[in-house]
Structure 1
Amino acid sequence: MLLAVLWSTKYENLAPSELKKLRNKQRKAKRKAEQESALQAQVQVKREQHHKARQQQEQGDPEAPQLDELVPDKLARAEDPLEQAIKFLQPLRTLAADRIDTHLMAFEIYYRKDKPLLMLQSIKRAFQLDSSHHHLHDCLLRFQRWLDDNLAGLNPAVAAVINKEIEPMVRGRSAVQMAEEFIRSAADKTQANALWGARALRRLLPERAHQALKLATALHYPDLSIQGCVDVLDSLREGDFGPCEKEIEQYIEACRSKFPYAIAFKPASALADLPDNHVADDAPLQPKEIAANN
């Protein structure tokens, strides 16, 4: 009772909006404290389990599990990330071979390890699942450019196999020709196609950066969505289209007009005033937002 009186006396002169902000901050602080407490309890349980298992090992218990050192920093920063990625990939290639993402992931790993035959294998498997996939298109372009730079240095037998197996997919086209054909035939069909096609065009032909940027930031695609726009914005900020600070601001403004309730496009000043759940209970989605996400 006394605390309630003191609280009322202290904050009775606050405006309703300021009082609401204060209560939101207090709820956030309370929730954060509860989460930290729960996390500490989980860590303590894990520590006790680990300690018990280690004691069993030291005492010669043959049924005790073999333990690795659970050092968070070591787990988060693997000394051989690509090798660790391959370990993660192997069960996926067995259990999720019918998902194109498995083979696209495999290509990304082997591309970074300069393994041309494994790159080819990954592309072929992905091509059999969905030959028009936007990410696969990008993989094909990068593999073709890799071959342009490295094919002459490969073992002749390996080069012959690659040339034979890649031909049905590239059909004698160069990377630039494939990129331009994709933009003409597929880029307008989906927002993802446009983004991946534009990135490839910018990478292959830097002098056409303006065209690529215009293609990526257009908002007329039939499957336009908040997540699709966020992906474009992330790509712009990561420098895939070169320095474009002005275009980034313009794109955010355009997305904000298209999706006025989307948190991703709100200015920082507006985010500070949002309640914990980020969406007011009485703020319905606009019809355009509903249609774009269905």
Structure 2
Amino acid sequence: TENLAPGELKKLRNKQRKRLRKAELERQQAAQAQEKREQHNKSRQQGDAEPDAPQQDELVPEKLARVEDPLEQAIRFLHPLQTLAARRIETHLMAFEIYSRKKKPLLMLQSIKRAHRLDPNSPKLHSCLILCHGYLTRWQGNLDAAVATVLKQEMEPIFRGRDAHQMNAEFLAANSKSLEALFESARMMYHLDPSKQETAISLATTLDKDIEGVNLQNCTKVFQALRNEEFGSCPEQVAEYEARCHVRFPYAQVFCPPSTSCHPSPIAESNHISDGKENCVSN
């Protein structure tokens, strides 16, 4: 611009001012158009809603994650499952967990019987049976006489006069080659008698070759239970089990020590093709 004549320089500056004014005008028009669209959408939403309809709550993530009545919300989630997934034992085990927390013995009974019909030898059902036996024993004095009679009659074919310790011992003896069964039996062993912590942990953490179900999913479940202190405080056993599982599943992130990398090199990966996909699954 230094080499332009005064007249040309004046024309150039006028053009620049016009462009700035035009850009500002377009910006204002766009803002006004956006405001009109928002008002229109808001008016349409209000028009679609019924006059007496309650105002919808704002979707706040923190509020949704921490409901005031979690058990009631869980029941709302459960009811469709009981209709649409009645053939899945997980539905009825979930129902038992919910109703036991709400102290609803007859609904607990219903859940137990439905699950028992689907798979009487389920390890998870076994844990629920042990817990149910304990609940009913503790609540016995506070139950209505008619309710207590129904519970006793309906649970007798399952309990068969055994106490919780006998039930757990028999289930363990009959399923000693299944890691899932060993894990649930060990959990109940510690639940019934915390002094047996060492024995329970030893059962749950076995990786013997003759045990069925020693896979990444089940070992991760055991590891998380140990870390969550479902067997009490046992930091040494947690570290020892993590190290053993890292050897068994060297590429699983869940068992990867913080100071090492679990990403396989191309050579190592080719040498472990026969190990299957489990080693490459992350947490």
The structural deviation recorded for 1:161 is 0.2
Give the 4+ runs in structure 1 shifted more than 3 A.
49-55, 59-68, 278-282, 284-289
Aligned equivalents of 1:51, 1:168: Cα separation in 2: 66
Aligned-residue CA RMSD in angstroms? 2.7
Q: In the alignment, does 2:172 pair up with 1:183?
A: yes
Counterpart position of 2:133? 144
Q: Output the TM-score relative to the length of structure 1.
A: 0.74
- Distance 1:259-1:288 versus aligned 2 partners, 3 A rule: farther
Q: In the alignment, does 2:256 pair up with 1:266?
A: yes
- Distance 1:260-1:87 versus aligned 2 partners, 3 A rule: same
The structural deviation recorded for 1:285 is 7.0
Aligned equivalents of 2:54, 2:141: Cα separation in 1: 50
Tell me the percent identity. 44
Task: Trace 1:117-266 onto structure 2 (pairs within 5 A).
Answer: 117-186=106-175, 188-220=176-208, 221-266=211-256
Aligned equivalents of 2:272, 2:38: Cα separation in 1: 52
Deviation digits for residues 117-142 of structure 1 (CA, Å, limit 9, x no counterpart): 00000000000000000111011100
Q: Which amino acid aligns with 1:200?
A: M
Aligned equivalents of 2:186, 2:222: Cα separation in 1: 10
Q: In the alignment, does 2:68 pair up with 1:79?
A: yes
Secondary structure of residue in 2 paired with 1:224: coil
Aligned equivalents of 1:114, 1:156: Cα separation in 2: 16
Which segments of 5 or more consecutive residues in structure 1 lack a partner in the other structure?
A: 1-48
Q: 1:99 aligns with which of 88, 105, 109?
A: 88
Indicate the structure whose relative CO is greater, using CA pairs within 8 Å and at least 6 residues apart: 1
Which segments of 5 or more consecutive residues in structure 2 lack a partner in the other structure?
A: 1-36
* Residues 107 and 122, structure 1, Cα contact 8 Å, conserved in 2: yes
- Distance 1:68-1:199 versus aligned 2 partners, 3 A rule: same
Deviation digits for residues 176-223 of structure 1 (CA, Å, limit 9, x no counterpart): 11011111111x232111111100001101121111110001002222
- Distance 1:169-1:52 versus aligned 2 partners, 3 A rule: farther
The structural deviation recorded for 1:269 is 1.8
- Say which one has the larger Rg: 2
Aligned residues: 239
Aligned equivalents of 2:93, 2:57: Cα separation in 1: 31
Aligned equivalents of 1:191, 1:164: Cα separation in 2: 33
Aligned equivalents of 1:50, 1:88: Cα separation in 2: 35
Q: In the alignment, does 2:276 pair up with 1:290?
A: yes
